[in-house]
Amino acid sequence: MRYVDEFRVPAAARELLREIDSLDERGTFMEVCGTHTMAISRAGLRPLLEPRIDLISGPGCPVCVTADTDIDRAIAVAKEPDVILTTFGDMMKVPGTEDSLASASARGARVRVVYSPLESLAIAGEEPGARVVFLGVGFETTAPAVAATMLEARRQAIGNFHVLSFHKLVPPALRALVALEDFEVDGFILPGHVSVIIGSDAYAFLPDEFSMPCVVTGFEVTDILQAILRLLKMRRSGAALEVEYSRAVKPAGNPKALEVMRRVFEPCDAQWRGLFTIPGSGLAIRPEFAAMDAGTWEVELPEPSGSAGCRCGEILCGRIKPMDCPFFGGRCTPDAPVGPCMVSSEGTCASYYLYSESEGPDDRGEGADLG
Amino acid sequence: MIEGRALTLAEVVTMAHGGGGTRMQDLLREMIFPALGGQTLEAAEDAALLEVPPGKLAFTTDSFVVKPLFFSGGDIGKLAVCGTVNDLAMVGARPLYLTLGLILEEGLPLDDLERVLASVAAAAEDASVRVVAGDIKVVEKGKADGLYVNTAGVGVVDPGTQVSITGALPGDSLIINGYVGDHGIAVLKDRGDFSFEFQLDSDCAPLAGLVSEMLIAGRVRALRDPTRGGLAAALKEMASSSHVSFVLDEPAIPVREEVRAVCEVLGLDPLYVANEGKLLAAVAPEDAPAVLEAMRSHPLGKDASVIGAAAAGKVGRVSLTGEMGSSRLLRMPSGEQLPRIC
Amino acid sequence: MCLAIPAKVIELEEPGLAVIEIGGVRKPVSLMLVDGVAVGDYVLVHAGFAIEKVDEDEANKTMDLLQELARLEQEAGFDEIR
């Protein structure tokens, strides 16, 4: 596969690891994109970089940081008799207060997994008797696609297509994190595809206002290692914003996509699961598109349970490790997760869980894959 | 069309076809018996009386609910025969007899049923098995997705053959007979949900012949066919059941470019995608070269590869070593793999 | 949230729609979010949309860098043998 395979060069990765090692620097770096978390886990990078370099997963999985009350709303909408709820596959198993979309579907709610919001629009066209609702989740990578679909729905006068928007924005979340008192992270591995849309300039505040080093990074192992090398060098040369993923990211991003996104959505305050409400970090559907906004519907919601005791927020900010959370491995497991760190299959807690249950006294000799 | 046939192919299945009366007899006589043939079936006893050669009896059951019914490289009929035959082959049995239970949805075109039966017949012949008993039920429109199939299969394990999912030993070579993920991705393509266009057939095939070549060539200690849950599930199951750990060489696992591409787009992992013509074998390391050669000489094993080895260590632990030398742990799939954006 | 894959544009259909190809697999994608896409261009595909064109010059620079790193790794290997 062109422009994929050429970036998978094991020898280059080994050389980058060697260069990282020879710098003899320490650092704790946070990645804020679920796909980066996944890539790092899959490549087994953490054990190769420890103990000098610590990679922390930040609140970067938009699926996992969707508030349980938002999931409850999606489920309530799905249960409406004439509704077909369409969603990205990622959302199916995420637990709300009582239920998940998967279990609601098992109980008769009409829920369909789609790869693109355009498929949802097509379903609306095919099912004129149904109200088809698309569950909008994702950061700035995805919001323009949803916005474009809504514009298309308007253009084609498809009146039974609706959207529930739980989209979130990355820069406000970064700002909220960096401003935390005890936020002790030495640099950010910034999300490559969000940046394709918003542009690298959107992160200038990180070095400028907070002296925080950051690198806009691609998703191959070589991209991530290059970013780490650059972040380590910044420990000596000073905080800066660099773009490693130059083959896709421009300083101003994709103005057309941004314009489409802004035509349909406006910023609002949003609740991040396991964290707190971050001002201006969500996307709400503009009043002009209210007819398509399923968020305005009256639906019955369960009493929020308040997962009091969940310490995902502190894990996501890099303050504690999974084992420090009293729920870890007991009340909160991959099969019955409480917060986003366990909801995501590659989340910090889910990863620790997997590695801890697979370690045994005889495993010491296996070298690199010690978790 | 045969003169005087009570059925015409323009007809569809109706509740009457399942009623036990003349319409059902028409279905049996004009469609089912001609397709599947055989004295045993046509004797239409309540139960088949069979000769069983000496050895241990292997007995399995399976149900098939695939959608769509017809896909590139096969259909539910072929799947039913191959799936059942393969279950028997995985314990080293020579498959002999199958039953075929059909649950038909009212409104299923008889044309479709005839195609499925022809596939069953062809697959049974290919696998050298006979369908000796069956049953038909008809359910109302809206149930059964057109057609559900249930089978049972009987085979015999020659004395001296010892293949078991518990049989892998530390040091054994792990071998796969070809490309993984073909079936799941072919079916995904044919469901048409994501508008993909490419060439790919399901790998649906009966493996008993390949298995007997392998057993002659060397000590095959454990076998598993990676169906739902993909190769990952088969690896985890075998490692657990055999009380060993596995270390896999990820780049050595054969995956077709098209399967890789679709998985990249949808965020799927080929190791968790279903197969219907694959087997995972744990082979005594000294015999691995001979077994591999025997496999590569067989049409269903020409892309056979050694993909790893069993080791002592934490029971059930399966790790995959990537190109860089670093490794990741494989987890047991917990249900259907869904496309993702994250 | 970030799964996007580079793919080659092989056909332009009605305004706003293209057919891409990757690894022998073809798929229609929307061009509503990118302008100036021509057949032969590579685009990043996310959720059924092209979200940007791949900058082939920059891609080549990065690929060259990786090849250079790979060469260095080989040399280091030889150094160890010596």
Q: Alpha-carbon distance A326 to C56, whole Å?
A: 49
HSE of A76, CA atoms in CB hemisphere, 13 A: 20
- Set of chain C residues whose Cβ sits within 8 Å of the Cβ of B195: 27-28
Contacting partners of chain B (3+ CB pairs under 8 A): A, C
Q: Is the pLDDT of residue A369 over 90?
A: no
CB of C47 within 8 Å of a chain B CB? The answer is yes
pLDDT of residue A304: 80
Confirm whether pTM is higher than 0.80: yes
Domains contained in chain A, number: 1
CATH number of the domain to which C54 belongs: 2.30.30.140
What chains are in contact with C, requiring at least 3 Cβ pairs below 8 Å? Answer: A, B
DSSP B284-342: -GGGHHHHHHHHHTSGGGTT-EEEEEEESSSTT-EEEE-TTS-EEE-----S-------
- Which of C5, C13, C25, C66 would you mutate first to test chain B, the one with the most B CBs within 10 A? C25
Residue B269 sits at the chain C interface (C-beta within 8 Å)? no
Domain extent for A260: 65-297
Share of chain B above pLDDT 90, in %: 77
Mean pLDDT value of segment A85-112: 93
What ipTM is given for this predicted complex?
0.94
Please tell me the predicted confidence (pLDDT) of residue A352.
82
Question: In this structure, is residue A41 part of a structural domain?
Answer: no
Binary contact (C1, A139; C-beta < 8 A): yes
* Interchain pair A144, C6: CB under 8 A: no
- How much is the average pLDDT of A327-339? 86
B60 pLDDT above the threshold of 90: yes
The domain of C74 spans 5-81
Number of domains, chain C: 1
The answer to whether position A283 is within a domain reads yes
Residue A58, chain B, CB below 8 Å: the answer is no
In a domain, A87, yes or no: yes
Percentage of chain A with pLDDT > 70?
95
pLDDT above 60 (res A359): no
Tens digits of residue pLDDT in B261-295:
999 999 999 999 999 999 999 999 999 999 999 99
A360 occurs within a structural domain: no
Taking Cα atoms as reference points, which of A265, A267, A283, A61 lies closest to residue A148? Answer: A265
CB pairs under 8 A between A and C: 144
pLDDT at A370: 28
Question: Which residue in A13, A35, A360 is closest to B324 by CB distance?
Answer: A13
Q: For residue A20, is it within any domain?
A: no
User: Tokens at residue C59, please?
Assistant: 């891609």
Asked if the Cβ–Cβ distance from B265 to C1 is below 8 Å, we say no
Which conformational region is residue B242 in: left (phi greater than 0), alpha (psi within -120 to 50 degrees), or beta?
alpha
Convert the pLDDT of each residue in B297-308 to its tens digit. 999 999 999 999
Is residue B261 within 8 angstroms of chain C, CB to CB? yes
d(CA B245, CA B170): 8
Q: How confident is the model at residue A64 (pLDDT cuts 50, 70, 90)?
A: confident
Q: What are phi and psi of A147, to 5 degrees?
A: -60, -45
Q: Tell me whether residue A117 is in a domain.
A: yes
Average pLDDT estimate for B126-146: 92
Q: How many CA atoms within 13 Å lie on the side-chain side of B341? A: 32
Domain for residue A42, yes or no? no
User: Over the stretch A307-320, which tens digit does the pLDDT of each residue have?
Assistant: 678 888 888 777 88
Identify whether the C-beta of residue A13 lies closer than 8 Å to the C-beta of residue C34: no
pLDDT tens per residue across span A100-117: 999 999 999 999 999 999
Domains present along chain B, CATH in parentheses: 15-157 (3.30.1330.10), 173-329 (3.90.650.10)
Q: How near does any CA of chain C get to the CA of B275, in Å?
A: 19
Poorest-pLDDT segment among A134-138, A205-209, B24-28, B89-93: B24-28
The domain that holds A240 is classified in CATH as 3.40.50.11740
Question: Hey, is the C-beta of C27 within 8 angstroms of any chain B C-beta?
Answer: yes
